[in-house]
Amino acid sequence: MKRYVWVMGAVLIGSVAQAQQPALRKGVSVQMAVADHAVEMRAADAADATVVAITAEGKVYSGIDVTEPAALSQLSAATVYVKVDARAPFQKVLSVLDALHGKSVVLLAAAPKTAEGSKMLPPYGVKLTVPR
What pLDDT score was predicted for residue 24? 47
What pLDDT score was predicted for residue 19? 39
Reference 102, options 69, 125, 80; nearest CA is: 80
The percentage of the chain sitting over the pLDDT mark of 70, rounded to a whole number, equals 73
For residues 90-112, give the mean pLDDT.
Answer: 92
What pLDDT score was predicted for residue 27? 81
C-alpha–C-alpha distance, residues 96 and 79, integer Å: 14
pLDDT at residue 119 tops 80: no
The strands making up 65-67's β-sheet, listed across from edge to edge, are 39-40, 124-129, 104-109, 79-84, 50-54, 60-62, 65-67
